[in-house]
């Protein structure tokens, strides 16, 4: 469909004038609405407050006093829960503190300083390249940028990253050391990786012996409707003879508390051994009291599923409101498209080419803070200036609705200004 198909130029000028009036009306309200980050709302955080209503023993099931030093790889109770979430064995899991992003950063730092499996440390190489499916997670790209890596943008499709491109690149270039993946409800598109994509990632030939998949399964249990799961990447890597290829990450950041949850990394037995060698120097132990409180609160994976149904009940009306307002205001105009994810924390909005920065800037003028245009691409540069990440989770529903109404006005105004 063409842009504003069926509209005459005079009609477009009249429409622009009407949109400008609505934009001016909102600007005068001095609003402060925030859809910039995927944060849980206070209502969601309140679901877990009882974690701290604890008067029991601090002795773990293995007899460790969680108030003391020790257990740098975490307590067994929490390992079991993360093992169930990720579909691995407890021996494949290391439990840390609150941030899975921190654990990803540390994995980069270990490869950079010490190397992987007796390969040359990345710091000793003239250049390291990393594959970055986009639109993707800006904080992944920021890690690569801080370590001065060349980022190669891999287009995302409805099944995951463009695997033809990925396979061709890794087969020929030994300086490509890894790929970022958010396999379930990808940030920001909501894509779920297909079985074919998982198998190809696990089995592909790579020129670099130390190539690693950074498997950020942040939204593994964050379903809005039906439960969606994918093939187990660690199992597929084992079948393909590449058992050391993947590092899996997850956390309770959007299950319990974003600032004080529990995070984990899972990998092959050999990778876990190598990681433990390094973290035993880095720390005498993580916050085991927090791990114990979480483990006593949840007990098992079924408890987490029940808990996440409560989150979904809070979030569904927000995601549905965004879709309804986008449809009401922008559908049929040929100027924007958006995703309708079945879980996760984001909606991906693509506007007319060359307009995303303008939309975000105008929204700021009208009191709505969005993720910066371009943030979902390496180096903050969206070559088509189209993609905007919508984060519906944090604002109260009434504020969210107003923010999305303003966003739609800004989309139309930016496009009309461009084409007229």
Angle made by CA atoms 249, 251, 252, in degrees to the nearest 5: 165
Q: How many CB atoms lie within 10 A of CB 270?
A: 11
- At 348 the three-state DSSP class reads strand
- At 213 the three-state DSSP class reads strand
Q: Which residues pair with 369 in a beta bridge?
A: 34
Q: Are the beta carbons of 376 and 387 closer than 8 angstroms?
A: yes
CATH of domain 53-300: 3.40.640.10
Phi/psi at 33 (nearest 5 deg)? -115, 140
Residue by residue, DSSP assigns 156-171 as EETTEE-HHHHHHHHH
CATH 3.90.1150.10 at 9-44+305-419, yes or no: yes
Residues ≥6 apart with Cβ < 8 Å to 61: 75, 76, 77
* Run of H or E including 389: strand 387-390
Q: Which regions of the chain are under pLDDT 70?
A: 1
Q: How many CA atoms lie within 13 A of 356 on its CB side?
A: 25
pLDDT (0 to 100) of residue 320:
98
Residues ≥6 apart with Cβ < 8 Å to 210: 111, 115, 116, 117, 119, 177
pLDDT (0 to 100) of residue 2:
85
pLDDT (0 to 100) of residue 1:
64
* pLDDT tens, residue by residue, 35-60: 999 999 999 999 999 999 999 999 99
Tokens of 383: 């070559």
For the chain, the domains span 9-44+305-419, 53-300
- Say if residue 16 is exposed, middle or buried (CB neighbours under 10 Å; 0-12, 13-18, 19+): middle
Tokens of 3: 């842009």
Closest CA to 212 of 236, 237, 247, 248: 247
Kindly provide the b/e burial profile for residues 310-334, where b requires at least 16 CB atoms within 10 angstroms of the residue's own CB. Answer: ebeebbeebbebbbebbeebbeebe
């Amino acid at each position: 469909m063409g842009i504003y198909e069926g509209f005459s130029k005079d009609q477009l000028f009249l429409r622009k004038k009407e949109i400008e009036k609505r934009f001016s009306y909102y600007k005068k309200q001095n609003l402060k609405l925030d859809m910039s980050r995927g944060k849980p709302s206070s209502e969601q955080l309140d679901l877990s407050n009882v974690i701290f209503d604890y008067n029991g023993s601090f002795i773990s099931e293995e007899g460790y006093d969680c108030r003391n030093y020790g257990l740098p790889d975490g307590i067994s109770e929490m390992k079991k829960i993360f093992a169930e979430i990720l579909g691995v064995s407890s021996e494949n899991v290391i439990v840390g503190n609150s941030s899975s992003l921190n654990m990803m950063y540390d994995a980069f730092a270990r490869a950079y300083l010490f190397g992987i499996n007796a390969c040359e440390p990345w710091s000793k190489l003239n250049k390291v390249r990393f594959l970055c499916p986009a639109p993707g997670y800006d904080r992944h790209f920021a890690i690569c940028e801080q370590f001065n890596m060349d980022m190669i943008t891999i287009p995302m499709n409805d099944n995951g990253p463009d695997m033809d491109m990925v396979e061709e690149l890794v087969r020929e270039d030994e300086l490509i050391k890894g790929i970022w993946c958010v396999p379930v409800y990808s940030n920001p598109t909501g894509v779920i990786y297909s079985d074919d994509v998982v198998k190809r990632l696990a089995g592909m030939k790579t020129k670099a012996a130390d190539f690693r998949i950074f498997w950020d399964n942040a939204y593994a249990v964050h379903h809005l409707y039906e439960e969606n799961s994918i093939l187990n990447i660690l199992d597929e890597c084992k079948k393909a003879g590449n058992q050391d290829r993947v590092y899996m990450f997850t956390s309770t950041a959007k299950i319990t508390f974003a600032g004080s949850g529990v995070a984990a990394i899972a990998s092959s037995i050999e990778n876990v051994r190598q990681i433990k060698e390094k973290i035993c120097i880095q720390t005498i132990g993580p916050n085991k009291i927090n791990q114990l409180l979480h483990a006593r609160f949840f007990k098992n994976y079924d408890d987490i599923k029940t808990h996440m149904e409560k989150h979904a009940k809070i979030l569904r009306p927000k995601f549905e409101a965004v879709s309804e307002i986008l449809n009401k205001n922008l559908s049929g105009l040929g100027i924007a498209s958006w995703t309708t994810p079945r879980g996760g924390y984001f909606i991906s909005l693509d506007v007319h080419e060359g307009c995303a920065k303008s939309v975000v800037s105008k929204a700021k003028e009208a009191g709505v803070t969005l993720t910066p245009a371009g943030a979902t691409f390496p180096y903050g540069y969206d070559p088509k200036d189209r993609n905007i990440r919508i984060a519906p989770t944090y604002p109260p529903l009434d504020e969210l609705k107003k923010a999305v109404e303003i966003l739609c006005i800004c989309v139309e105004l930016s496009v009309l200004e461009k084409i007229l």
